[in-house]
Amino acid sequence: MDQGLTDALAYGSGYLGQGKVADYIPALAGAPADHLGICVLTRDGEFHCRGHWDQMFTMQSISKALLLIYALLELGHEKVFSRVGVEPTGDSFNSIVKLETKGHHPLNPFINAGAIATMGLILEEGRTFVQFMEFLEGLARRPLTIDETVYRSEKETGDLNRSLAYFMKSDQVIQGDVEATLDAYFRMCSILVNTRDLARFGMILANDGQDPLTGEPILSAYYATLVKTLMVTCGMYDSSGEFAIKVGMPAKSGVGGGILALVQGKAGLGVYSPALDEKGNSLCGIKTLEYLSQALDLHYFKGNQ
């Protein structure tokens, strides 16, 4: 593991300088494009970390996977999936197209429209952003904070997300207050984590919903399977197919440069490098995972897992 990780980081570092930091959210534009870090939590509770693994960054879309877990636990899958589907879109994460052409409900909870709709449902059902944050702190086993600058920056410039939300309100996919829903969504995207936190979230899913440290059940194996399957089909937006072939791990990325990934039954992984490819995924992060997957035989359809 340790040599593989060192080699993977060296391989991923070879791609630093390629890709582009997200600047459509102005406050993200200053992220350190030359940073790359990774952390792996194995089932025995050991963390293996390299590079800029402890750099804090905003979760962005990675939070959508955690919001889905929270929504499933609080409201149950029938209610959640009455508002949002389970199909990949093949479109970019912030596309509005299929909201009109494929019916009014967002196709899955990992595109912006789907996560905004899920947040809307959470608030309609009387839950609050603070409760979601507390849930997340329980998973992370530490207090979490929001990057207020990124939050305000996205709130000021998030007109596309605002359009998605009002479009869905007009179709009753969002039934509560649109601005309150967006506010909670922007806050959620601005929660600060490092790769170690992501590795922990990943290991909980890899461990079929049980806390790897205490054995405490956090979510059912059924819900863990459901979330992991959606991570496979939709977690890397419109490059989920290519990522599945090359890396073969359930994963969820965010435009902050983080990727949460996992190896079933074995490990949770967090990787961070803020320069993105043209699909909005961490370029060096993917390269690092690609190397690691091949070097250690971690693809879900390889080896005898």
Question: Which residues carry out catalysis?
Answer: 61, 64, 185, 237, 255
Distance CA 107, CA 57 (A): 28
Q: For ligand GLN, give the closer residue by CB, 160 or 213.
A: 160
DSSP string of 102-167?
S-SS-S-TTSHHHHHHHHHHHHHTT--HHHHHHHHHHHHTS---B-HHHHHHHHHH-HHHHHHHHH
Contact flag: residue 197 with ligand GLN (CB under 6 A) = no
Contact flag: residue 93 with ligand GLN (CB under 6 A) = yes
Q: For ligand GLN, give the closer residue by CB, 116 or 204.
A: 116
Contact flag: residue 94 with ligand GLN (CB under 6 A) = yes
Question: Quick one: which of 109, 274, 280, 285 contacts ligand GLN (CB under 6 A)?
Answer: 280
Contact flag: residue 161 with ligand GLN (CB under 6 A) = yes
Distance CA 115, CA 210 (A): 24
Least distance from ligand GLN to the Cβ atom of residue 154, Å:
6
Q: For ligand GLN, give the closer residue by CB, 42 or 58.
A: 58
Distance CA 172, CA 15 (A): 45
Residues 16-55 that bind ligand GLN (CB under 6 A): none
Nearest Cα residue to 61 out of 200, 291, 237, 278: 237
Contact flag: residue 60 with ligand GLN (CB under 6 A) = yes
Least distance from ligand GLN to the Cβ atom of residue 280, Å:
5
Dihedrals phi, psi of 69, to nearest 5 degrees: -60, -45
72-88 burial code (b ≥16 CB/10 A, e <16): bebbeeeebbebbbbeb
Instruction: Report, in angstroms and rounded to the nearest whole number, the Rg of the chain calculated over CA atoms.
Output: 18
Least distance from ligand GLN to the Cβ atom of residue 219, Å:
23
Secondary structure E strands in 152-226: 192-193
Question: Quick one: which of 218, 236, 255, 296 contacts ligand GLN (CB under 6 A)?
Answer: 255
Least distance from ligand GLN to the Cβ atom of residue 77, Å:
24
Tell me which residues touch ligand GLN (CB under 6 A).
Answer: 60-61, 93-94, 112, 154, 161, 189, 254-255, 280
